[in-house]
């Protein structure tokens, strides 16, 4: 290594900076992270892509899920890799240590939680967006136009008026934070950002007791307080009781509090229930509340056939709508969106441009709006590409057909459960979710334990991966169908395997 003479007055400055003008830096110019041999890189890249295509086209032949073995777990406790590793070896590690242990949601018999399946086209779009490596916080470049296009398409699909704003997010959780922040901004004005919620802040919001935890977290994160999001009891069909909603608003006003927001869920996570969005919209209008809709997966029933598309009636009346692309329309993780009717309130909640973010009239710093004016993230990836490619390639009608197919599958499964000697439905099947439990009851604790055991065994067997839900305080097997690959045979196999496992346990 070249010894650099440290000038007497170098003070605290880095020794690397203290070189004579003609001296070249220690790291040679041609030292970059690019390959030295592009042809070889191309071979590796093609092989990796081939592996991905093999992997996805043969998914049905593999177990839905398998536990991560101990030696793999220890492999991921390795030391910091200061030295390089050959690409060939790193790719092998991906292939052998990582890819076999996926969540399983690309498999047609993955039924757990609310997971999207992805698509082969998603593989390509992720590769293209990684190649461009666009930063989508703002400025004037192609990716921004793609994002605006996607937002416009969604605005039209969900029936919000022209001039509404929107931004792509990680998912519905962040979309909810943004929406509630915009609602607060409308309620409090500039005070919302300047002073925050003062200690006597009386803002309260409303949702049903079936609301997703993401909304409560958003309340907590915004400092509104989880208790200030009132969980209104549901009617027998798991939808918010409008009577009790109105009563709660009245009681809070009488107590001197300031109701500002009501949340409707379009597709609850437990049973896929839809709050009556039109009725909530009426309440919101009457009471002057911001009407937010959580449509994480359920909003997409809008593009399905009758009767499912009717379930989202009233969604077009939302002041804000949060939904995911990565759940029901199979865009690879992660991709969500928030749409806001009052673009000014949305912008008021987030826009702020210090000098280093000033926009220009022309040139790269031009263009408006910038996504960073509508959310928290400044540096943002090119999420919009995978959404745009999915919509453009498959078409909304075809994506809608997959939603319809999943609902039909859930209803098929529901009818099989009704005919089963061992199982019964835990809730009516109204969408793509079917919850069931054993007919034979012992004690509530023993019944719950049995459900846990059954679900675990199904997962460990690799045949199917449902999850559980608690409905009317009793645990049940929950099968959520969001995968475009799931066919009727997969459900036959699920039932057969569930019955066999149950017989073995009891």
Ligand X SMILES: *Cc1c(COP(=O)(O)O)cnc(C)c1O
- Give the alpha-carbon dihedral of 124, 126, 129, 131, to 10 degrees: -80
Contacting residue, 204, 214, 321, 399, with ligand X by CB under 6 A: 214
**How many beta carbons lie within 10 A of that of residue 269, not counting itself?**
22
Stretch binding ligand X (CB under 6 A), from 13-21, 121-129, 170-178, 365-373: 170-178
CA–CA separation, 239 and 429 (whole Å): 14
Q: Is 495 in the site for ligand X (CB under 6 A)?
A: no
Q: Residue 442 Cβ, how far from ligand X at the closest point, in Å?
A: 32
Our CB check for ligand X shows the closer of 234 and 501 to be: 234
Our CB check for ligand X shows the closer of 303 and 454 to be: 303
Q: Which of residues 106-125 bind ligand X (CB under 6 A)?
A: 114
The backbone torsions φ and ψ at residue 86, rounded to the nearest 5 degrees and listed phi first, read: -60, 140
**Pair type for strands 290-294 and 320-324:** parallel
Q: Is 260 in the site for ligand X (CB under 6 A)?
A: no
Q: Is 299 in the site for ligand X (CB under 6 A)?
A: no
Our CB check for ligand X shows the closer of 173 and 320 to be: 173
Q: Is 324 in the site for ligand X (CB under 6 A)?
A: yes
Q: Is 185 in the site for ligand X (CB under 6 A)?
A: no
Q: Is 294 in the site for ligand X (CB under 6 A)?
A: yes
Residue nearest to ligand X (CB): 171
Our CB check for ligand X shows the closer of 260 and 323 to be: 323
Q: Is 238 in the site for ligand X (CB under 6 A)?
A: no
The backbone torsions φ and ψ at residue 232, rounded to the nearest 5 degrees and listed phi first, read: -80, 135
Q: Residue 336 Cβ, how far from ligand X at the closest point, in Å?
A: 5
Contacting residue, 109, 212, 228, 386, with ligand X by CB under 6 A: 212
In terms of Cβ atoms closer than 10 Å to its own Cβ (0-12, 13-18, 19+), residue 287 is middle
SS3 assignment, position 235: coil
Q: Is 315 in the site for ligand X (CB under 6 A)?
A: no
**Pair type for strands 474-480 and 433-438:** antiparallel
CA–CA separation, 202 and 188 (whole Å): 11
Stretch binding ligand X (CB under 6 A), from 49-57, 142-150, 168-176, 301-309: 168-176
CA–CA separation, 322 and 290 (whole Å): 14
Task: Number of helices (H) and strands (E) in the chain: give both, helices first.
Answer: 15, 11
In terms of Cβ atoms closer than 10 Å to its own Cβ (0-12, 13-18, 19+), residue 4 is middle
Q: Which of residues 327-346 bind ligand X (CB under 6 A)?
A: 336
Interacting residue ranges for ligand X, rule: CB under 6 A? 114, 171-173, 212, 214, 265, 267, 269, 294, 296-297, 324, 336
């Amino acid at each position: 290594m070249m010894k650099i003479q440290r000038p007497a007055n170098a003070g605290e400055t880095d020794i690397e900076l203290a070189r004579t003008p003609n001296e070249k830096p220690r790291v040679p110019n041609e030292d970059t992270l690019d390959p030295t041999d592009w042809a070889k890189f191309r071979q590796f890249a093609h092989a990796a892509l081939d592996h991905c295509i093999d992997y996805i086209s043969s998914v049905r032949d593999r177990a839905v899920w398998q536990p991560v073995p101990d030696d793999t777990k220890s492999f991921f406790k390795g030391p910091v890799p200061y030295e390089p590793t050959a690409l060939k070896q790193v790719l092998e590690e991906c292939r052998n240590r990582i890819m076999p242990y996926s969540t399983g949601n690309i498999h047609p018999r993955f039924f757990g939680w609310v997971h999207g399946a992805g698509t082969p086209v998603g593989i390509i779009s992720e590769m293209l967006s990684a190649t461009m490596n666009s930063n989508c916080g703002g400025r004037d470049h192609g990716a921004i136009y793609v994002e605006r296009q996607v937002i416009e398409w969604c605005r039209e699909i969900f029936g919000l008026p022209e001039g509404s704003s929107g931004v792509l997010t990680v998912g519905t959780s962040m979309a909810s934070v943004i929406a509630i922040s915009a609602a607060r901004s409308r309620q409090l004005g500039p005070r919302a950002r300047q002073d925050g919620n003062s200690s006597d802040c009386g803002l309260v919001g409303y949702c049903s007791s079936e609301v997703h935890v993401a909304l409560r977290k958003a309340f907590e994160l915004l400092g509104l307080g989880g208790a200030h999001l009132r969980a209104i009891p549901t009617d027998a069909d798991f939808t918010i009781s409008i009577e009790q909603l109105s009563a709660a608003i009245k009681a809070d006003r009488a107590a001197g509090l300031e109701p500002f927001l009501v949340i409707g869920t379009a597709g609850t996570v437990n049973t896929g229930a839809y709050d009556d969005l039109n009725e909530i919209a009426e309440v919101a209008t009457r009471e002057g509340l911001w009407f937010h809709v959580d449509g994480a997966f359920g909003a997409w029933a809008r593009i399905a056939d009758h009767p499912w598309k009717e379930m989202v009636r009233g969604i077009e009346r939302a002041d804000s709508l949060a939904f995911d692309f990565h759940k029901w329309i199979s865009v690879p993780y992660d991709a969500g969106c928030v749409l806001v009717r009052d673009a000014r309130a949305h912008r008021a909640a987030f826009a702020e441009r210090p000098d280093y973010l000033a926009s220009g009239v022309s040139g790269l710093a031009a263009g408006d709006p910038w996504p960073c004016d509508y959310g928290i993230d400044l540096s943002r990836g090119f999420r919009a590409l995978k959404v745009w490619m999915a919509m453009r390639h498959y078409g909304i009608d075809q994506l809608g057909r997959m939603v319809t197919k999943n609902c039909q599958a859930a209803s098929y499964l529901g009818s099989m459960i009704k005919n089963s000697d061992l199982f019964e439905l835990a809730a009516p099947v109204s969408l793509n979710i079917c919850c069931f439990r054993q007919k034979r009851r012992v004690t509530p604790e023993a019944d719950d334990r049995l459900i846990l055991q059954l679900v675990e065994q199904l997962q460990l067997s690799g045949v199917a991966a449902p999850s559980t839900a608690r409905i009317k305080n009793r645990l049940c097997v929950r099968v959520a169908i969001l995968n475009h690959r799931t066919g009727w045979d997969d459900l036959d196999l699920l039932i057969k395997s569930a019955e066999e496992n149950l017989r073995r346990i009891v």
